[in-house]
Amino acid sequence: MASDIVSLNPVVRAVIEGTAPRPARLAASKGILPLQQADLLELLTFLADGDDAELRENALESLRSQDPAGLEQTIRSTELPPSVLGFFTKEIDLPPTLHEALLTDTKTPPAAIARFAQATPNGSLLELIAVNQQLLIQNPSILDAIIANPNRTAEAERRAREVKREFFEKERGAEQIAAELRARGNEAAAEFFEQSNSGLTAEDALFLADHIEISDAETDDSWMSLEWIEEIYEETDEEREANVAKILGELKIEGQDVGAERLSMLNRVMKMTVKDRVRLAMKGDREARNILIRDSNKLVSTAVVQNPRITEQEVEQIAAMKSLAEDILRQLAVNRQWSRSYPVMHNLARNPRTPIANVMTIMTRLQLRDLVQLSKNRNVSDAVRRQAARLHDARTGKKN
């Protein structure tokens, strides 16, 4: 117990440690020792919780005789021990302003606040507790106490339930989903949802799980743990809707089927945060990649080409897409694996979005017939057409 004593007063320490003589302990319990207010309160609350009946009754009587206004001032202006603050939260009949001082003191033990929240008849004080979101998150027992108290106000209940739903029910839901996925042998999807921040419903999560096929061991996505991703790429509802419309429009232009299942997946994917869409782009199957390569957020579409399961056929199609950001096409052009694929390089050369510097390098490897076609292609820049013609003439020995 000595290690819990806050007071440096030797008399207080002697009484609490039990080394003081009986007359001194009796005097202490009656509050007649010449002590500072904080020392006196620490001593009295200790004795009031003790096993000695006489000392306990004396201490309780001394505490009840304390002036409420003076006690409130002491709580607000003095560093009182947590044990003192916790003791007074048990006194339900104290003035509301005194309870406010206790509940807003950061040293008041959370267990004492939970006990108070369960017993108080004052709904306004429950609202005061419910405003402290950090306290509720760190101590969920306080949430349950607020919700269980029949005297809670609608506002106190609303705040408590919102915190519970956002920080605890979603977390438990994700754990249940992950456990179910592992039971089905879908380890990659379980890993994904354990790390997800999107708060998807169980229905959405299980639907998308069928499109996640790559485990953490197959990808290096450590860079995505950076918190600034969500801060920089915060999206509004309007931006998400515009993104859905963009992707849907491109799929239709390309003549791809946009059935109910694909539309459902598109809407569910767009509920996800940018960070989770990046992770899905790197871990998802072909259908997920086909949708996310068209994402208006460049970070997401760039992640698709880093997916370890992406096929040469997919990359060939991506290289021909005229709606992609130049950075993605540049990434394909300098990639060692894809630079060995003639169809990929050929499509990049014909894509007007590919940076000219990359096209100039690629053209040196094109076949003569493709150089001829490129020199006549009105979709590419004049510089690319002229260079294609020059390369063709140089190889065939034709002089201008």
pLDDT digits (tens, 9 = 90+) for 259-311: 888 999 999 999 898 889 999 999 999 999 999 999 999 889 999 999 999 99
Arithmetic mean of pLDDT, 313-336:
94
Contact 98, 74 (CB under 8 A): no
**Kindly report the CA angle at 198 between 192 and 203, in degrees rounded to 5?**
75
Cα torsion angle, 311, 312, 317, 319, sign: positive
pLDDT at residue 180 in the model: 81
Q: In whole angstroms, what separates CA 244 from the centre of its chain? A: 23
Instruction: Give the three-class secondary structure for 284.
Output: strand
Arithmetic mean of pLDDT, 3-26:
80
Burial state string for 263-276 with b = 16 or more CB within 10 A and e = fewer than 16: eebbebbbebbbbb
Arithmetic mean of pLDDT, 11-22:
84
Burial state string for 352-379 with b = 16 or more CB within 10 A and e = fewer than 16: ebbeeebbeebbeebeeebbeebbebee
Q: Which of 68-72, 184-188, 349-353 has the highest mean pLDDT?
A: 349-353
- What is the residue extent of each domain of the chain? 1-106, 109-183, 188-306, 311-400
Lowest-confidence range among 53-57, 141-145, 199-203, 381-385? 199-203
Higher pLDDT, 2 or 325: 325
For helices 123-131 and 96-103, the axis angle rounded to 10 degrees is 20
Instruction: Give the three-class secondary structure for 54.
Output: helix
pLDDT at residue 247 in the model: 94
**H or E element that contains 389:** helix 382-396
Res. 76: pLDDT tops 80: yes
